[in-house]
Amino acid sequence: MERYLYKSNSGNYNFLMAYPAIEEFALASLGYLWLYKIADTHEGINAIRCSTDNVVISKKIDSIAFSMSFDFDYAGVFEILEKLNIPLYSAERNENHPLIFAGGPVITTNPCPYEAFFDFLMIGDGEESFKQVLDILKSNSRCEALKLLENVDGVYIPGKNKTVKKAVVPLHEVIYTPILSDKGYFKDTFIIEVERGCMNRCAFCTASYINLPFRSYEYDKIIAAIDLGLQYTNKIALLGAQISAHPDFDAIMKYIEDKIDNGVNIELGISSLRTDAVSPQMVQTLVKGGQKHSTIAIEAASERLRKYINKNLKEEQILNAVRISRENGLKGLKIYSMIGIPTETQDDINEFLKLGKKIKDENKGFNIEFSFSSFVPKPHTPFQWAKREDTKSLEKKQKYLEKEFSKLGISAKFSSIKWDYWQSVLSRGGKELAPFLVEVYRRGAKIGAYKSALKELDIKVNESFNLDQPLPWDIIEMEPRKTLLINELKRLEKRQ
Ligand code: SF4
């Protein structure tokens, strides 16, 4: 069952809001649902939702927006376009086709590999410029609209603009789940964005760098959103890259705890805890809110490496976070980290095992799981130039850690190193990747398709960059500029 928390508008302009994955995930994507709500309440717009498993369209569509959150979302975009009988490349479409555009974190980070498929792209915060885009689309011809869109904040028109400035908006209206559904990945959960970005600026982290400056919503607005959500559901989730960095986080938690103590049934969800700020009160509130497990991110096991990536976390703080979590009622913790960070040595890898053993010895019976991904260099971060470690060498490290953690009786899970490699290729790719993406899609978009498509097309992928060479994503102007990223990289290199 779906419950709309707002009143839809209707109109003559048929606007398809497409999510390039299955509906279950679309219904869990706060950014997608919020923009759908904006379209669905906009005067003159008939907004229609669609996902890869739900492409039943009976009307002539005037334009299509895609929300892209993950590097591999392009395959879902192609699937939907094909189901709608629309050519993939924008150059193969004409005035009888809908205008097709995209936005979301993947596009903001680096639109270059995808620009051949879209008429325009939206870079940065979408909530304000999206309304202007809808106004332009509904009252202009395709050709006129493209001319007018050039002046909208954050809009990039491939082939026309040389550069585009990322749109940044002050956070006024709190963003929350506008459609509750039991078919969503997070069933009937009212998600509230409490902040955007993260002020820590770890050297690899796009969630921090592409969302600068860090902004948070005012306490009163978050409380009002919690109260609104509780009118519809008891499942409340707070969303942010580092939620506990919110200046009023303790007060927000206290508000929720008082409600629970007064008999209000609340299931509280918080994706991860800030390791150096885990407090007894925070954990007690989570436990009262029904949470049994949580996550802390340490990113690297050795203090040397954490210092290098700007995650200034001491071992003592990690041990404290685990102890406080255990003593205050959580049943277990997932400890998230990475392998393959530039300059990583075997000593750094062995630090994982020493840390794991220490945590296990000090927290008998507490459920600990290490969760690893491999380092993926990302645009707009100080590590954007870095070479990713060779896949074979990363797989060797993975096998070693699996074996040694198993000897210690500690669970360790790993992301797929091969998929992480292709993620790094896509995230730092340029326009030359467009035919490659189509070829991978034609071959089924499974892991083997990437290698065979590369061979077939004889394309060279970017493995690393020099500090002075132009980068595909230089077309995006965002703070901090490249010179500041270089300065930050040099500062971090001196810290080793
Ligand atoms: S603390 Fe987490 S969210 Fe913040 S910059 Fe570091 S990795 Fe990113």
Percent of the chain predicted with pLDDT > 70: 100
198 pocket-lining for ligand 1 (C-beta < 6 Å) = yes
**How much distance in Å is there from the Cα of 160 to the middle of ligand 1?**
35
Is residue 242 predicted with pLDDT exceeding 90? no
Fold (topology level) of 188-428+465-491: pyruvate-formate lyase- activating enzyme (3.80.30)
User: Quick check: CB of 201 below 6 Å from ligand 1?
Assistant: yes
Backbone φ, ψ for residue 302 (5° rounding): -95, 150
At residue 408 the predicted structure's pLDDT band, cuts being 50, 70 and 90, is: very high
Contact 242 CB / ligand 1 (< 6 Å): yes
Contact 334, 309 (CB under 8 A): no
- Mean pLDDT in residue range 156-180: 94
The better pLDDT of the pair 317, 161 is held by 317
Q: What is the pLDDT of residue 65?
A: 98
Q: Is 207 in the pocket of ligand 1 (CB under 6 A)?
A: yes
Instruction: State the distance from the centre of ligand 1 to the C-alpha of 199, rounded, in angstroms.
Output: 8
User: Which atom of ligand 1 is closest in space to residue 241's alpha carbon?
Assistant: 3
- Give domain 2-165's CATH superfamily: Response regulator (3.40.50.2300)
Strands 332-339 and 293-299: parallel
Domain boundaries, the chain: 2-165, 188-428+465-491
Query: Has this prediction a pTM greater than 0.85?
Result: yes
Calculate the CA dihedral of residues 294, 298, 302, 305 and round it to 10 degrees. 170
Point out the ligand 1 atom lying closest to the alpha carbon of residue 198.
4
- pLDDT, one tens digit per residue, over 427-477 is 999 999 999 999 999 999 999 999 999 999 988 888 889 999 999 999 999
- pLDDT, tens digit, 9 for 90 and up, residues 54-83: 998 888 999 999 999 999 999 999 999 999
Query: What's the chain's average pLDDT?
Result: 95
> Ligand 1 centre and the CA of 62: distance in Å?
39
- Which string of b and e fits 296-311 if b means at least 16 CB within 10 Å? bbbbbbbbbbbbbbbb
Q: What are the residues whose beta carbons fall under 8 Å from the beta carbon of 54, sequence distance 6 or more?
A: 23
Asked whether 322 lines ligand 1 (CB < 6 A), one says no
Distance CA 113, CA 433 (A): 5
